[in-house]
A = this chain, B = another copy of it.
Amino acid sequence: MSSELARTLEALLFLSSDPLSAEELAEATGAGDLDIAGALAELQQTFAPGARGLLLREVAGGYTLASDPLAEDAARALLGRTRHSALTPAQLETLAIVAYLQPVSRPEIARIRGVNAESPVATLLDRSLISESGRSEFGAVLYTTTSLFLKVFDLRSLEDLPDPSQWDATADEAGELRDRLLAAGEHRAGTTLE
């Protein structure tokens, strides 16, 4: 059973993704420096190596909770599975747009999809399937696919991307793919207006 202050600090360290300094902890709890030091010492003991699944680490800038390396294999197994689980439709659409049009900016992806592309782009970046590559003339970040992308889709090069006309006859129409995608996106945005 920990003291109330130690319990509060544990919760704060759990919630914060960045390390917290003793001053920040004092400010958030309204406790004095000495009390904070005492509660931190208490937590040092609670989270002594080997005691729990989490470790209290002192890093530049303060204290942070981290998972014990003991769990690393299990964590890889767990997260690796999600990493290679199927892409959501939004992610697949976004990835396809980057693959066929690269380099392409996020506003352009959003125009084609007719909806905001922030979340799928972030996930694809996180999964290393796309990466940033420079900026457009308007200053927007441009995205391209990565070599990991080629590997997981088993493509030798971008030339090997399938021809979309086998699923949609209109893909055969003359005109730049980019222009036609943008036109369809605007059309879509127009008809989904309420």
Contact = CB atoms under 8 A, between A and B. Distances in A.
A27 B110 CA distance: 37
Interface residues of A, number: 67
B9 A53 contact: yes
Given A1-B50, A139-B191, A194-B117, A90 B11 contact: no
Count copies of this chain in the complex: 2
Interface in A96-110: 105-107, 110
Interface string A1-29: 11010111111111110001000100111
Which of A30, A52, A106, A188 has the most C-beta atoms of chain B within 10 angstroms of its own C-beta?
Answer: A52
A52 to B, nearest CB: 6
B90 A132 contact: yes
Interface string A66-77: 011011001101
Contacts of A116: 122, 125, 194
A117 B89 CA distance: 22
Nearest to A119: B131
Given A88-B132, A118-B194, A192-B139, A12 B75 contact: yes
Nearest to A28: B78
Contacts of A7: 52-53, 68, 70-71
Given A11-B74, A28-B81, 20 more contacts: A2-B52, A8-B68, A8-B70, A8-B71, A10-B52, A11-B54, A11-B68, A11-B75, A12-B67, A12-B71, A20-B78, A27-B77, A28-B75, A88-B134, A89-B132, A90-B131, A90-B132, A116-B125, A116-B194, A140-B188
5 contacts: A7-B71, A11-B70, A12-B78, A114-B141, A139-B192
